[in-house]
Amino acid sequence: MISLLLAISTTGVVTACTSGPDQLQFQVVSAADGSVLFTHPMEPGGIITMDHVHSVHKRPVRELFSVNTEGALTMEEMIFDRMGANLPFGPETINGVTTTFLEEDGHYRVLHHSRPLGTVQMLVGGPSVDHTLTMPDGSTVRMLELTRPRARVELRTSQSE
């Protein structure tokens, strides 16, 4: 069975993508009831960018995720311009993978070297945080268009269900 997915970007543009039953999907899922709030077809290597304003020090943060060849969500890098609460301040070893911490062009970059995540549990920030996802095709979705502030969601792929 082939399904047609429609995505409406923040500019109001409708994007259609066809997907078969085995097509890998990136998903945002409600932790409260397991309902899928957003889905987007993915290919291994595709980059998903999450932009937001840090809730404590009020500065922009960019996080880059990808999907590996096994269909699992991985952490690629984090970019920010000032040190702050809950942000790395140097290399760290997480689940056996040591990050690379760089300072370049007035920003800090933390390379996570495709560290497997499985799923990402998160709390959706309010309008001042404005979590926004950008998909590999350039389409965007604001998390607040999917759910309410402080809602718990899970980022995952259809293969991590």
pTM of the model: 0.82
pLDDT digits (tens, 9 = 90+) for 77-125: 999 999 888 889 899 998 888 999 999 999 999 999 999 998 999 999 9
Residues 33-53: tens digit of each pLDDT:
999 999 999 999 999 999 999
78-94 b/e with 16+ CB inside 10 Å = b? Answer: bbbeeeeeebeeeeeee
Which pLDDT does position 6 carry in this prediction?
37
Question: What six digits make up the tokens of 75?
Answer: 């952490």
The domain segmentation of the chain, as residue ranges, is: 23-160
- In the structure encoding, which two tokens stand for residue 58, read together? 């009020």
pLDDT digits (tens, 9 = 90+) for 9-26: 333 433 334 444 568 999
How far CA 5 is from CA of 36, 59, 72, 120, 137, in Å, comes to 13, 34, 21, 23, 14
